Structure 1
Amino acid sequence: MEFSQEDNNNLPLTKFESMLKTNHVFFFDSEEFENIIHHYLNQGKIALAKKAIKLGLDQHPTAINLKLFKVEVYVFEDKLLEADTLLNELYSLDPMNEEIYIQKANIFSKKDNHVKAIEVLKKALELTDDAVDLYSLIGMEYLFLDEYEEAKTYFMKCLEEDLEDYSALYNIIYCFEFLNQNEDAISYLNIFLDKNPYSEVAWHQLGKQYMALKKYKKALAAFDFAIISDDSFVGAYLERGKVLERLKRYEEAIENYTITLKLEDPTSFALLRIGSCYEKLKNHELAVQYYYKTVHEDPLLDKGWIAITKFYNKQKNYQKALYYINKAINIDSENVAYWKLYSQINQRLNFIEEAERGFKKTLDLGNYELSTWLSRGDLLIQLGEPEAAIYNFEQAMEFYPENAELEYRLAGLYFKLNENDKGKFHLKNGLKFNQEFSFIIDELFPDVSNRIVVKNIIKQTL
């Protein structure tokens, strides 16, 4: 029994806490101690649970259930040897107690021996009249083993026993999704809904499966039924808003997101989506208002700052865009896309050194797209750092061998440094790989393109 502040069942708990404060010893029967301990464990108050276990065993030294709580605390504290030793003692006293098997399985699971945990839990199944919790535990162990088909089977058993076990339903859908079985998930949910037609959670999950398959009209219908089942279901309104966005019905999407703001405290996600919808409707004033509301609601939401950055970037207000991209980078400094945007904005402001630094950071984070190498190298050329540019392009060649754009740049750089043999080598390679890109020499190295040796090589090839 779980104690509640609203009923009279918490008298033993009040009495127990009074005993702790006064040091007067009161007697409780073992079941009362079990309820007290269970309450503290559920509340995460381990120290109080341990006191209750100790006092309980002082008054009832042979109570197996109290000793099982002691095992549970041992496991929680990673004292697995002590837990195992006590469990073995209890097994010799009561070998038919299913809780002993459950705790034994818990120890195996803690040791990452999930196969053995499943074996023990299946033995516990033979001893119980209430299998739902055991099915769930077995399902979780199969999840640890990445055996999703088996896990799904046991979670389905949970749901067969209890149609309101939404935790099991979520786990079933998780397994379907991991196995890319969206159609099977839809079939399963439809069968479930035949038995439980007002399950808002099932309708919601059905809509998400249709979304994954881009069947937006069916997804919309499913979310409608979720809302009919529970008109305060925020998740259904949010998902419905997403579908309407995909269908480019932005005004209706805004309506759905706005409903969520009235049902509970505003979420940064809903505010951000409303801003995005207004931007698509070309209502720039309201769009930016909602973007600002997003970051006011959650100043650490980098997506909010990025939305403002992109808004000002499109408006060609690069100074403001730069200010806000820095906000986003301060929150997530490992995001490649942010650094690329940072570099592009700095380029537009002609802040060449900062732009180059941004592209270098992008490369350091493992983004090896050709455009990144080319952009950084060209900036190094502008900065008058030919050696650094050469090193950049030679690194790029490791990822993009036989690339004409890189070859022409290296040719121009080497000619510029009067290393003519290397210049000739790369120029010939560039012409061999793609003659159309020879304009790169003219654009990036106009002084080099006028050299007789360069003109002759190009003339001989074309």
Structure 2
Amino acid sequence: MNHDFPSFNEFNEDFEDLRDLLQQFENLKEGRSHAFLDEDSFEQIIDYYDEHDELNNALQAVEIAIEQFPFSSALLLKKSALLIETKKYREALALLEKAALLDSNDINLYILKTDVYLAMNQHEKAAALLEEQIRIFDGEDRTDLLLELADVYDDWEEFEKVFDCLKLLLEYDPNNEEALHKICFWTEFTGRNEESIRLHTNIINEHPYNQLAWFNLGTAYQGLKLYEKAIDAYQYAVVIDEKFDYAYRNMGDAYIHLRKYNEAIEVLQKHLEIAKPEDVIYEAIGHCYEKMRKFTQARYYYRKASHLSPHDDKLYLKIAKAYMTEESWENAIKSLQSALRINKNSAEYNITLGQCYLQLGMDKEALVQFLSAVRLRPNSAQAWKEFIRGLYAAGHVEEALTQLEAAEAKIGRKPVFLFYKAALLIAIGKTKEGLLQLETALQLHPRQVKKMVELDPSILQHTAVVELIARYRRKR
């Protein structure tokens, strides 16, 4: 077996060497006799202290090292980096100028200078410096400088330029993983999907096995709502890398947009096989089953999602809605009570719970919920509407009229209230007044008449009501 890892003995030797170096450095500081420390040894000692957050020791080591090797640009750069860490930006800049005279071909010089400019909020200087060096360096150095420049533009909030920079980098170095990951986000952020499609198509033509390029092509098509094309691109990505979990996730989303729920479930299940299970994946599978009216499976996956995310009250609402579709009111109530325990301030949960209680003839409990919804959201037409409907269903017609007037005073005369008022007046025997009200409502909002029929289907047993509605239908 031939691993590239250092063996335990090698690791041990390295550790012994380092311990020996640190001991020699201690001897040097204390003025005791010590072995000669070369430049490389000093660099190891400085790095050790820096990595272990012993900044004072690191600075002391670098000072002594520079005294012995005054013309080492590498040591000057190390000292600059430590000064930047301790926020001594002016001193760091002065040292970097000195280092540049010794060796201007070290890319770290420009990256450290950029760090100083960013820390001092001088974005323009940072960008200008990097742009100048990008023209001079090539190979990996140019790539690193372009990535640095992209970060400068991000920090500067010049988001279009971040995209430009990454695009330039990928035209130069098409297989750069960091740039491919980043441009995916910035394409979505800037909405430059068409450019992304052109860029990644060119990359794929040259490098057909670049799965990240295929994935980015898919996300750009998805950004333009071209879901079939997106799916094609993702399929290429997973053929190249069958463990590409994000490609399965996005493909699932694209299939859901195309209402191809079976296919969506299949790729999302694949995601579950290769990646750590996530609530959003279970929830998406539940959503697919719900759309296919397979409510038992839908609930199963919503439950799995809620086990992973026990404080997500919306999942309990989804479970409840799946029960309500099957008229399983008691089970729906239990789920809604769980949702309300997590989020006491959701008028929607109160309303939905009230609707379930009404179905079970538990009028009193229903009204408590509807009233809670009105108190939570006094400006919500939906909350008032359900409260008035609840009062009517429970036979409190006079009270329903009183609350209707309160609702109108609070939030104005909504179309639905006009029809409700007509129905309520007819129900308490004020037929003539009710019909006049209905006529006004039909003149203003003829399409909303169904709201009145939903409130009380038996209203269609009144010949006068039916004739009036029919007259407005003919007019329309």
- Give the TM-score normalised by structure 1: 0.71
Query: Which among 252, 255, 259 is matched to residue 241 of structure 1?
Result: 252
For residues 391 and 122 of structure 2, what CA distance do their matches in structure 1 show? 55
2:229 is the counterpart of 1:218: yes
Query: Which among 278, 289, 293 is matched to residue 278 of structure 1?
Result: 289
Q: Is the 8 A contact 2:289 2:298 kept in 1?
A: yes
State the match for 1:458 in structure 2: none
2:65 is the counterpart of 1:60: yes
Written as runs of structure 1 = structure 2, the 5 A alignment for 1:242-261 is 242-261=253-272
Return the offset for 1:407.
Answer: 7.1
- Code of the residue aligned with 2:355 in structure 1: it is Q
Query: Which among 429, 434, 443 is matched to residue 444 of structure 2?
Result: 434
Return the offset for 1:229.
Answer: 0.9
Return the offset for 1:278.
Answer: 3.4
Stretch of structure 1 that moved more, 318-327 or 62-71: 318-327
Query: Which among 82, 85, 88 is matched to residue 70 of structure 1?
Result: 82
For residues 159 and 324 of structure 2, what CA distance do their matches in structure 1 show? 45
For residues 70 and 193 of structure 1, what CA distance do their matches in structure 2 show? 43
Query: Which among 206, 211, 220 is matched to residue 195 of structure 1?
Result: 206
State the Cα deviation string for residues 175-220 of structure 1 (Å, max 9, x = none). Answer: 3333333222212211111122111111112122222333332222
- Code of the residue aligned with 1:85 in structure 2: it is R
1:356/1:297 Cα in 2 relative to 1: closer, same or farther (>3 Å)?
A: same
1:133/1:356 Cα in 2 relative to 1: closer, same or farther (>3 Å)?
A: farther
Describe the SS at the equivalent of 2:88.
helix
Q: Is the 8 A contact 1:30 1:60 kept in 2?
A: yes
Q: Is the 8 A contact 2:408 2:414 kept in 1?
A: no
- Code of the residue aligned with 1:115 in structure 2: it is E
Describe the SS at the equivalent of 1:61.
helix
Stretch of structure 1 that moved more, 240-249 or 194-203: 240-249
For residues 5 and 57 of structure 2, what CA distance do their matches in structure 1 show? 18
Return the offset for 1:17.
Answer: 6.0
State the match for 1:358 in structure 2: 373
- Give the TM-score normalised by structure 2: 0.69
State the match for 1:93 in structure 2: 98
- Code of the residue aligned with 1:65 in structure 2: it is L
Q: Is the 8 A contact 1:295 1:301 kept in 2?
A: yes
State the match for 1:83 in structure 2: 88
For residues 4 and 390 of structure 1, what CA distance do their matches in structure 2 show? 79
Q: Name the count of aligned residue pairs.
A: 414
Return the offset for 1:269.
Answer: 2.7
1:330/1:16 Cα in 2 relative to 1: closer, same or farther (>3 Å)?
A: farther
Written as runs of structure 1 = structure 2, the 5 A alignment for 1:370-385 is 370-375=381-386
1:290/1:56 Cα in 2 relative to 1: closer, same or farther (>3 Å)?
A: same
1:404/1:239 Cα in 2 relative to 1: closer, same or farther (>3 Å)?
A: closer
State the match for 2:303 in structure 1: 292
For residues 395 and 304 of structure 1, what CA distance do their matches in structure 2 show? 32
Q: Is the 8 A contact 2:146 2:165 kept in 1?
A: yes
1:252/1:355 Cα in 2 relative to 1: closer, same or farther (>3 Å)?
A: same
1:110/1:55 Cα in 2 relative to 1: closer, same or farther (>3 Å)?
A: closer
- Code of the residue aligned with 1:56 in structure 2: it is A
Q: Is the 8 A contact 2:282 2:304 kept in 1?
A: yes
Return the offset for 1:231.
Answer: 1.3
State the match for 2:459 in structure 1: none
Stretch of structure 1 that moved more, 432-441 or 148-157: 432-441
For residues 377 and 433 of structure 1, what CA distance do their matches in structure 2 show? 23
For residues 286 and 94 of structure 1, what CA distance do their matches in structure 2 show? 67
For residues 19 and 410 of structure 1, what CA distance do their matches in structure 2 show? 91
Return the offset for 1:356.
Answer: 2.8
Describe the SS at the equivalent of 1:131.
helix
Query: Which among 174, 179, 203 is matched to residue 185 of structure 2?
Result: 174
Return the offset for 1:304.
Answer: 3.6
Q: Is the 8 A contact 1:189 1:206 kept in 2?
A: yes
2:123 is the counterpart of 1:114: yes
Query: Which among 208, 217, 228 is matched to residue 219 of structure 2?
Result: 208
For residues 145 and 257 of structure 1, what CA distance do their matches in structure 2 show? 38
Q: Is the 8 A contact 1:253 1:277 kept in 2?
A: yes
2:62 is the counterpart of 1:47: no
Q: Is the 8 A contact 1:241 1:253 kept in 2?
A: yes
Give the unaligned 5+ runs of structure 1. Answer: 75-81, 414-426, 445-461
State the match for 1:448 in structure 2: none
- Code of the residue aligned with 2:130 in structure 1: it is L
1:29/1:285 Cα in 2 relative to 1: closer, same or farther (>3 Å)?
A: farther
For residues 258 and 40 of structure 2, what CA distance do their matches in structure 1 show? 58
For residues 453 and 298 of structure 2, what CA distance do their matches in structure 1 show? 44
State the Cα deviation string for residues 386-412 of structure 1 (Å, max 9, x = none). Answer: 998766543423xxxx64555788999
For residues 177 and 340 of structure 2, what CA distance do their matches in structure 1 show? 38
- Code of the residue aligned with 2:220 in structure 1: it is Q
State the Cα deviation string for residues 216-249 of structure 1 (Å, max 9, x = none). Answer: 3222211111011111111222223333334444
Q: Is the 8 A contact 1:30 1:66 kept in 2?
A: no
1:432/1:229 Cα in 2 relative to 1: closer, same or farther (>3 Å)?
A: closer
- Code of the residue aligned with 1:394 in structure 2: it is A
For residues 136 and 435 of structure 1, what CA distance do their matches in structure 2 show? 59
Give the unaligned 5+ runs of structure 2. Answer: 29-34, 68-74, 359-365, 425-436, 456-471
For residues 151 and 431 of structure 1, what CA distance do their matches in structure 2 show? 56
Describe the SS at the equivalent of 1:54.
helix
Return the offset for 1:67.
Answer: 0.8
For residues 40 and 250 of structure 1, what CA distance do their matches in structure 2 show? 56
For residues 410 and 282 of structure 1, what CA distance do their matches in structure 2 show? 36
For residues 409 and 202 of structure 1, what CA distance do their matches in structure 2 show? 58
Q: Percent identity?
A: 22
Query: Which among 93, 112, 133 is matched to residue 103 of structure 1?
Result: 112
State the match for 1:394 in structure 2: 409
Q: Is the 8 A contact 2:212 2:237 kept in 1?
A: yes
For residues 251 and 170 of structure 1, what CA distance do their matches in structure 2 show? 29
